[in-house]
Amino acid sequence: MRRLAWIAAVGVTACAPGPDGNRAEPVTANATIGNDALANVADNAAEPAKSILRPEIVAPEPAPPALEPVAATVAFGASGLVLDDAGRAAIDALLASPTAAAGGPITVRGHSDSPGNDRVNLRASQSRAEAVRDYLVEKGIATDRITVVALGETTPLVPNARPDGSDDPEARARNRRVELTVDLPAPPAEAPVADPDNAAG
């Protein structure tokens, strides 16, 4: 007995023996199998491709950079005791830093040049520092964050005189300044741990 099989797109056709045992007649069996397979292929093709990544998993955001203390120098060389536009711009840039936004303490140190009476120079440095402090308060900084320090002529940025001892007006102007420093905020206090031995019960 011979069997021949053909696989076609529309179904499976097999040859079965005829009544006399010699003649083979084509017999179609499960003709719908091919159609179902084609339908499944079409359905799969219609579905959108799915990513191998799980959509509910979101990549973690990068950690923000670590905060560091920041500083700025406000010049009073040409303005004397008055905060000018350049000084306000320098303070604004400092306040825009992440460290300042974090709420750390701000130290304002006033300086003067050396000519004149030491006590007068100390008062001048105090006035400059207070002018900067007042502007910080105008910008919304709480007064308890600000510490004002008057240093007078004790810490010049550059020598007030030339090497030959003659006066150096440009150097003296550089020494009339206010230096601001914003430090990191204090870490939050840890809650006390209850002692189970002292607990009431």
Q: What's the pTM?
A: 0.64
pLDDT at 60: 77
pLDDT digits (tens, 9 = 90+) for 162-180: 999 999 999 999 999 999 9
SS (H, E, C) 56-102: CCCCCCCCCCCCCCEEEEEECCCCCCCCCHHHHHHHHHHHCCHHHHC
pLDDT at 19: 52
Taken in order of first residue, the domains within the chain and their CATH numbers are: 5-39 (no CATH), 70-182 (3.30.1330.60)
Q: Is 193 helix (H, G, I), strand (E, B) or coil?
A: coil
pLDDT digits (tens, 9 = 90+) for 60-117: 777 777 899 999 999 999 999 999 999 999 999 999 999 999 999 999 999 999 998 9
User: Do 75 and 91 contact (CB within 8 A), yes or no?
Assistant: no
Q: How confident is the model at residue 36 (pLDDT cuts 50, 70, 90)?
A: low
Consecutive H or E run containing 126: helix 118-138
